[in-house]
Amino acid sequence: MFTQLLAQHFVHTALLAGAVVSVICGAIGIFVVTRGASFAVHAISELGFTGAAAALVAGINPVIGMMGGSLSVGLVLGFLSLRGRERDSAIGAVLAFGLGIGILLLSLYQGYATEATNLLFGSIVGVSDGQLRGLAVVALIVAVALATTYRPLLFSSVDPEVAESRGVPLRALSILIFLLIAITTAEAIQVVGVLLVLTLVITPAAAAQRLTGRPGLAMLLSIVIALVSTEGGILLSLEKPWPTSFFIATISFAAYLIARVIDATAPAVARGSGRNKVTTVDTPSAVELSQD
């Protein structure tokens, strides 16, 4: 049965879509975790669902609405340029208001909300060839943006105060990174759904930063963990008729637990949280980057 399913075209499409999304989520996740913006990802995903609900009421593709909602929230958060507790308070206020609108929109929708439900829980095996092409295009845009702005993004994420004193445009980079997070989150929603989006954007990066303090290596490890989680989850769902999102989340969380164990059992000199390790190791080189 497994071999027969593995030969099906929809499985090939799902594996390719999962690979595309995993690479981008693993890459952007390093910046999210370093910036402490996990709550922002949650807000973007929830309000992306609100956008999908608005699209359903308007009679258009909910994926378009989800992308629009995610980008709108990402743009707002980028402009705010807030940090720490102040940022979390602002995100919480926006999230609560957006969810209220989403509930209203769903109550106004008179048809079947199957597509919106798929976005809520994920439906990777239902990705079409057209959606795969769309995912690939969006992923390419994010990859190019990250590649061209990697050094200043890393600098502003690790040490924003020093970066600002060196003339790095923090607000512009904040807008850029939150827009990229929004696009990536909207992609991940199509794989694992709104409720488990942190599985691909946050967990692999958090695990990777437990294993190394070098941002480049951490990004590579994050991509590998996200990729193994997604592809492994899809393959396991072919063998066992359980939700694919469950398997993806389980593998990703297992990788995080293993990373914590490795970090805890490492020599005392090498211990510390992933974010602290990145900050300690890379701040000096980041200062040099600002002078390029």
HSE (side-chain half, CA atoms, 13 Å) at 90 = 16
Q: What SS3 state is found at 96?
A: helix
Estimate to the nearest angstrom the gap between the alpha carbon of 267 and the chain centroid: 31
The mean of the pLDDT values for the chain is 83
Whole-angstrom Cα distance, residue 219 to residue 272?
18
Torsion over CA of 220, 226, 231 and 232, rounded to 10 degrees? Answer: 110
Q: What SS3 state is found at 159?
A: coil
With contact defined as beta carbons under 8 Å apart, do 118 and 125 qualify?
no
Whole-angstrom Cα distance, residue 275 to residue 273?
5
The number of distinct structural domains making up the chain is 1
pLDDT at position 161: 84
Is the pLDDT score of 97 beyond 90?
no
Q: What is the DSSP letter of 166?
A: T
- The confidence band for 94, taking pLDDT boundaries of 50, 70 and 90, is confident
pLDDT tens readout for residues 159-216: 888 888 888 888 888 889 989 999 998 888 877 788 778 899 999 999 999 999 899 9
With contact defined as beta carbons under 8 Å apart, do 73 and 43 qualify?
yes
Q: What is the DSSP letter of 213?
A: S
- The confidence band for 107, taking pLDDT boundaries of 50, 70 and 90, is confident
pLDDT at position 198: 84
Task: Read off the CATH number of the domain in which 256 is found.
Answer: 1.10.3470.10
pLDDT at position 77: 80
Which range of residues forms the domain containing residue 16? 2-290
Closest CA to 271 of 282, 255, 283, 259: 259
pLDDT tens readout for residues 236-250: 998 888 888 899 999
